[in-house]
Amino acid sequence: MRGQEAREQAGRKAVMATLAHTAADEIVRLWSESGLPSEAELLRGPETGLVTVRGRIGGGGAPFNVGEATVTRATVRLPSGQIGHSYALGRDKGKAKLAAIADALWQDPAQREAVETKLVAPLRAALDAARETRRVETAATKVDFFTMVRGED
Amino acid sequence: MYVAVKGGEAAIANAHRLMADRRRGDRSVPALRLDQIVEQLALGVDRVMSEGSLYDRELAALAVVQARGDMIEAIFLVRAYRTTLPRFGYTNPVDTGAMQIERRVSATYKDLPGGQVLGPTFDYTHRLLDPELAAGADVEMPAQRPVEAEPMPRVSAILAHEGLIEADGEMPLDHVHGDITREPLQFPMARDIRLQALSRGDEGFLLALGYSTQRGYARNHPFVGEVRIGEVELELDVPELPFAAPLGSIRVTECQMVNQFKGSAKAPPQFTRGYGLVFGQSERKAMAMALCDRALRASELGEDVVAAAQDEEFVISHSDNVQATGFVEHLKLPHYVDFQAELGLVRRMRAEYEARENEDKAAEEKREAAE
């Protein structure tokens, strides 16, 4: 049961992370293609606020405040009763509402599969591809040192 | 008696209208879009986010346009905006060791796990103006090298094995983390609060102070242990979720400065460290921040405080360019009454001075006549 619950939470968090990383228009486009319901009652927000970003002294020491970032969040309730939340960097209120609905739908066993396959899987594939492109572009700038032999012996 | 003088409303309104016109400039030139600024003036946007202390590219780009490219004015606009928003909380500390690396170089180790990765750098360019850029020539796509991903541990973690370098900075267990956006500055201040002030500090001011340490004012023998730039994940603990809410990622620049230290009564000979972490891609700022952080640790390490860069109150009180510009620029606002008072005072002092001069001269003449 413990392992099951942990897996469940990890899956839900991964969906939230994917939506948080994706631009609003991409989510809107896929949502309209997916046929997922978008009817929900707003319980909170969408509202924009700040989070204070923390780092660690020396990279791994005591925490300190680096600065702030804009974050938008929303909480919704589906007609079927599930409650969903969303948090993401930026100020897009439409995205916050859709992401909260996605979180609520994901918690409905009847809808989870559709959310995963029609919305999250393609978004995750696009994010992974973009990340991989950046990685190999960066890797091309890695220095290969070589030794110059000088003198006779 | 105090007489309020009013006026200038029409002049002010027309001045702002004129400013808006000049800001737009020649109407036959297309207006800038924010996405053009975000994409093509990215490092300027990063500076506004760093010193405005608010990570939001579109807002920073808007501020740059609104301020006509005046960076400090743009930073001021961003600072003012952030005061209008509620605060949701403090994120979990970012893990720079897990950064999606876009650049990573070390001046202390040639061969290190992950290697020297140059990324999109101005280094090794010839600093020649490029006429092709002016002509809007097409730009080729970047090269790709499809290799296995490898971990890139922070250099400080590699150095730590020998015990010749300080650990990452810890604070005492009972330390309460300070926040300069909540409490006024108090001196002496803890290192975490100093770092918060430095991270939003003016790049030019910190650069000059860092430079001064290299030129001998509080010399501390720095090496760049590592500079890394890339995206780190942000997470926020919230009561409504059983796990930390993932927020997305932000680009940051981190600098680990390593400083030779011959030891003092308080600490043995070793390498000490200065740390820099700033929003966006700005290694100049991160390096300057790390130099200042190390210089400001003089008292902690038992060094004599002899130079400006080591003087905490001097550095931190003057590093904020919004405060600095506010106080300097307020001088141009009407000071008519103050100046009238000063003028009256100087007239009186001058009259007294001249009266004294005349008396002295008369006395002198009298003495000469007597002789």
CB contact under 8 A, B248 and A138: no
CB contact under 8 A, A57 and B180: no
| Banded model confidence at residue B106, pLDDT cuts 50, 70, 90 | very high
pLDDT exceeds cutoff 80 at A59: yes
Q: Over the stretch B126-178, which tens digit does the pLDDT of each residue have?
A: 999 999 899 988 999 999 999 888 888 888 877 777 778 888 888 887 888 88
Pairwise CA distance, residues B44 & B65, whole Å? 11
* A49: contact with B, CB 8 A cutoff: yes
Instruction: Give pLDDT, residue B136.
Output: 87
CB contact under 8 A, B175 and A62: yes
For chain B, give the percent of residues with pLDDT over 70.
98
Secondary structure string (H, E, C) spanning A62-78: CEEEEEEEEEEEEEEEC
φ/ψ of residue A75, rounded to 5: -135, 130
The alpha carbon dihedral of A129, A132, A138, A144 has a sign of: negative
- Residue with the two structure tokens 């939003």: B200
pLDDT exceeds cutoff 90 at A100: yes
| Banded model confidence at residue B261, pLDDT cuts 50, 70, 90 | confident
Instruction: Give pLDDT, residue B60.
Output: 98
Contact (Cβ atoms closer than 8 angstroms) between residue B94 and residue A107: no
CB contact under 8 A, A60 and B248: no
CB contact under 8 A, A71 and B236: yes
Instruction: Give pLDDT, residue B371.
Output: 78
> What's this model's pTM, rounded to 2 decimal places?
0.92
CB contact under 8 A, A139 and B145: yes
CB atoms under 10 Å from CB of B119, counted, come to 20
| Banded model confidence at residue A153, pLDDT cuts 50, 70, 90 | low
Q: Kindly list the residues from chain B whose CB atom is less than 8 angstroms away from the CB atom of residue A9.
A: 242-243
Structure tokens given for B202: 């003016």
pLDDT exceeds cutoff 70 at A1: no
Better pLDDT: A35 or B201: B201
What is chain B's mean pLDDT, rounded? 92
Nearest to B88 among A73, A75, A136 (CB): A73
Q: Which residues contact B3 (CB under 8 A, 6 or more apart)?
A: none
ipTM of the shown complex: 0.93
Instruction: Give pLDDT, residue B5.
Output: 67
Q: Kindly list the residues from chain B whose CB atom is less than 8 angstroms away from the CB atom of residue A45.
A: none
| Banded model confidence at residue B3, pLDDT cuts 50, 70, 90 | low
Q: How far is B351 from chain A (nearest CA, A)?
A: 56
Q: Over the stretch A106-115, which tens digit does the pLDDT of each residue have?
A: 999 999 999 9
Instruction: Give pLDDT, residue B137.
Output: 86
Q: How far is B308 from chain A (nearest CA, A)?
A: 23
